Amino acid sequence: MLNHFEQRNLPNEVDVQLEHNVHYWMKPPYFLIFEKQSIQQILELLTAKNEDIIMINKDHCVLGILTSEVIYRALLKGLPLHQEIEESWLQDPFIVRADESIIHVNFEGNIIPVVNHEEKLVGSLSQKEILNYKDYFIQSIKHNVELIDIILEIAYEGVAVVDQHGYIVKMNKAYCNFLGIKPEEAIGKYVADVIENTQLHKTVKSGIPERGGIQMIQGQKMIVHRIPIWQNDQIIGAIGMLIFEGVTELYQILENATQVSTANNSKIDAEYKNDHNKRKTFEHMVGVSQALHVTKSMARKAAKTKSTVLITGESGTGKEGFAQAIHNLSSRSTEPFIAINCAAIPEHLLEAELFGYVEGAFTGAKKGGSPGKFELANKGTIFLDEIGDMPLHMQTKILRVLEENEVVRLGGSRSISLDVRIIAATNQRLEECVREGDFREDLYYRLNVIHLEIPPLRKRKEDIPALIAHYLNRFSKEYGVSQKNVDQSVMEALREYDWPGNIRQLMNVVEQFINFVDGDSINYHHLPSVIRKNQQTKTREVHQPLKSERIETEILTIQKALEEVRGNKTAAARRLGIHRTTLYKKLRQFKIE
């Protein structure tokens, strides 16, 4: 007699550990208890169901598969319709257990019986179910690969992956930005030709992992991990990671993690403080944005040369910090770094400040005279800040120093030879100043050998949370107050603000928080009025049609994800990158079937 199991739909929320089991993909079986059925009975059933029949005994154990092909052959031989079928006509079944994995099931027939641990029939698989699973499996793999790519790309650390021959197969954005290259310039290249002083090609040969190693890259000590990738007892590649952006950060992390004092950690504390008290290095520059990474990479390359550097950028972007970092990474790092703001010194005193003076050069001149900034910077670096505001007659004198590498003190006649690297900076557009006659063209070209443009904060807004956290920690320690938390609404407002004063303005805002916020939480009403007004203005500009368009896009995205995974809400949530509970809320909210 013909029978059917109770229909069970594939559950929407499957146990992730069991979702590859046959149990979750099988369907109710189409079966018949073998007991003197005629050819005509079987033919009618095959015609009605258009599917081969699983034949079982009275104990529900599988005997075999009765195919339409066998019945048609019997008819062609002239057997009568009332002829009873024989057990020898049954095809030997390919049987799987319900608790087995469906991953390796690769059946070329029409139907597969599924049995339980007692070998009793509990379901069946056809090519349709197997193909459905394989499509789901492939989509899951694609999703996981995409997820890994996303994780690698947003990682703060640089990550590089090489194959068993030492050729780069993956390099994330952080690593590329640090090296100042594009991904296509790295992929497929031998790792030693791309990464300076790398040992990854040796790691894939030795199979020995290395954690916390020191590697010199672009003249800077880096903390690196090198980890071989094993598969089936063979090395198939290796991963290299830049865990920290320098040893100074490592010391700082160790200090924060262990909360040590000078008394019980004298060595680490002394080393950290000695390094921290130096002028700014690239390690101290907070941020993860591509704009900052690219600029730092260019600056590191500039540090390796002896050429003059012109740094441009808006006020408050940190031009002097970059100048100090270039000096500290250069071969002149042990020599003086002398900075002078050309706009802050009165014009009649600027020449004496820069070139020095001899005794009696002017009324009030110090006895014995005094060296100028250029002499003090000899063998090292002089930083001429706001050079765009320098008077024309002083520009002529600076040009002479650049061309002749010597200086004459004010009121004197003796030339003093110099070996000084010049780094100049300005917030003005010197090209326009040259066109308008306010800046010497020949001096501009002598200064603009290496041009470094510092991005404003509004073009690197992804750095704002890290900068806020950095300065909150710094000012909390400086003023001896407890660390403060930032409300989400505050961070949103800070990220939306354009910061015309750049990092200098951000520092001032954070210092205000530390001084004026009494509790441990910085809330929206603590924001300066200019930032609150900015966000309120932008909020009013968000019109309802845009909101409706976003909702419609979100609905279409959810519907597409559900369609691609055939209604499996767990898989859809995973594909959308949200929790199942969040997906259910959105389904109810948008009334999606």
Residue 324 lies in a domain: yes
In this structure, are 558 and 434 located in the same domain?
Answer: no
The answer to whether the CB of 132 falls within 8 A of the CB of 114 is: no
Residue 263 lies in a domain: no
Number of domains present in the structure of the chain = 5
Q: In this structure, what token pair is assigned to residue 252?
A: 């700082």
DSSP label at residue 11: P
The answer to whether the CB of 39 falls within 8 A of the CB of 81 is: yes
What local confidence, expressed as pLDDT, does residue 339 receive?
93
DSSP label at residue 69: H
In this structure, are 359 and 439 located in the same domain?
Answer: yes
Which residue in 227, 225, 264 sits closest to 244, CA to CA?
225
For residue range 21-44, list pLDDT tens digits in order: 788 888 888 788 888 888 888 888
In this structure, are 321 and 443 located in the same domain?
Answer: yes
Strands 30-33 and 53-56: parallel
Residue 205 lies in a domain: yes
In this structure, are 307 and 444 located in the same domain?
Answer: yes
In this structure, are 55 and 107 located in the same domain?
Answer: yes
What string of DSSP letters covers 482-546?
Answer: ---EE-HHHHHHHHHS--TTHHHHHHHHHHHHHHH--SSEE-GGGS-HHHHHHHHHHHHTS-HHH
Can you tell me the distance from the alpha carbon of 123 to that of 22, in angstroms, rounded to the nearest whole number? 9
The answer to whether the CB of 105 falls within 8 A of the CB of 97 is: no
* End position of a domain, from candidates 425, 455, 485: 455
In this structure, are 214 and 191 located in the same domain?
Answer: yes
Q: What is the pTM of this model?
A: 0.56
Structural domain harbouring 110 = 2-135
What local confidence, expressed as pLDDT, does residue 321 receive?
93
In this structure, are 127 and 91 located in the same domain?
Answer: yes
Residue 287 lies in a domain: no
What local confidence, expressed as pLDDT, does residue 108 receive?
63
CB neighbour class for 588 (10 Å; exposed up to 12, middle 13-18, buried from 19): exposed
In this structure, are 310 and 447 located in the same domain?
Answer: yes
Residue 44 lies in a domain: yes
Residue 426 lies in a domain: yes
Number of C-beta neighbours around residue 548 at 10 A: 10
What local confidence, expressed as pLDDT, does residue 264 receive?
44
Number of C-beta neighbours around residue 53 at 10 A: 24
In this structure, are 415 and 467 located in the same domain?
Answer: no
In this structure, are 354 and 388 located in the same domain?
Answer: yes
Strands 415-417 and 234-244: unpaired
Strands 406-408 and 415-417: antiparallel
Can you tell me the distance from the alpha carbon of 385 to that of 341, in angstroms, rounded to the nearest whole number? 5
Which segments of 333-447 does DSSP mark as H helices, in order? 347-355, 373-376, 392-404, 430-435, 441-447
Q: Could you give the C-alpha distances from 156 to 150, 238, 244, in angstroms and in order?
A: 12, 19, 9
Q: Could you give the C-alpha distances from 120 to 36, 71, 117, 269, in angstroms and in order?
A: 21, 26, 7, 71
Task: Map tokens 């229909």 to a residue.
Answer: 7
In this structure, are 510 and 550 located in the same domain?
Answer: no
Per-residue burial over 314-346, b if 16 or more Cβ lie within 10 Å, else e, is bebbbbbbbbbbbbbbbebbebebbbbebeebe
The answer to whether the CB of 16 falls within 8 A of the CB of 28 is: no
The CATH number given to whatever domain includes residue 363 is 3.40.50.300
* End position of a domain, from candidates 508, 523, 540: 540
Number of C-beta neighbours around residue 476 at 10 A: 16
**How many secondary structure helices (H) and strands (E) does the chain include?**
22, 23
Q: Which amino acid is at 103?
A: I
Task: Map tokens 């290259």 to a residue.
Answer: 181
Can you tell me the distance from the alpha carbon of 523 to that of 217, in angstroms, rounded to the nearest whole number? 42
The CATH number given to whatever domain includes residue 494 is 1.10.8.60
The CATH number given to whatever domain includes residue 11 is 3.10.580.10
The answer to whether the CB of 368 falls within 8 A of the CB of 359 is: yes
- How would you write the pLDDT of the chain (593 residues) with one tens digit per residue? 344 343 344 444 344 445 677 888 888 887 888 888 888 888 888 887 778 888 888 888 999 888 888 888 888 888 888 888 888 888 888 888 888 877 767 666 678 899 988 889 988 888 777 777 777 776 766 665 566 666 666 555 788 999 888 999 888 888 888 888 888 889 889 999 999 899 898 888 877 778 778 888 877 777 888 888 877 667 888 888 886 554 455 555 445 544 444 444 444 344 434 443 356 788 788 887 888 888 998 999 999 999 999 999 999 999 999 999 999 999 999 999 999 998 888 877 888 889 988 887 776 667 778 898 999 999 999 999 999 999 998 999 999 999 999 998 888 888 899 999 999 999 999 999 999 999 999 999 999 999 999 999 999 988 888 898 889 989 998 998 888 888 888 888 898 899 999 999 999 999 999 998 988 889 989 999 999 888 777 666 554 555 566 777 888 888 888 888 888 887 888 788 787 777 877 887 887 87
* End position of a domain, from candidates 422, 455, 488: 455
Residue 573 lies in a domain: yes
The answer to whether the CB of 95 falls within 8 A of the CB of 113 is: yes
Q: In this structure, what token pair is assigned to residue 278?
A: 């130096």
What local confidence, expressed as pLDDT, does residue 14 receive?
41
Can you tell me the distance from the alpha carbon of 81 to that of 35, in angstroms, rounded to the nearest whole number? 16
Can you tell me the distance from the alpha carbon of 178 to that of 341, in angstroms, rounded to the nearest whole number? 30
Q: In this structure, what token pair is assigned to residue 481?
A: 């107050």
Can you tell me the distance from the alpha carbon of 48 to that of 45, in angstroms, rounded to the nearest whole number? 5
In this structure, are 350 and 404 located in the same domain?
Answer: yes
For residue range 412-430, list pLDDT tens digits in order: 888 899 999 999 999 999 9
Residue 97 lies in a domain: yes
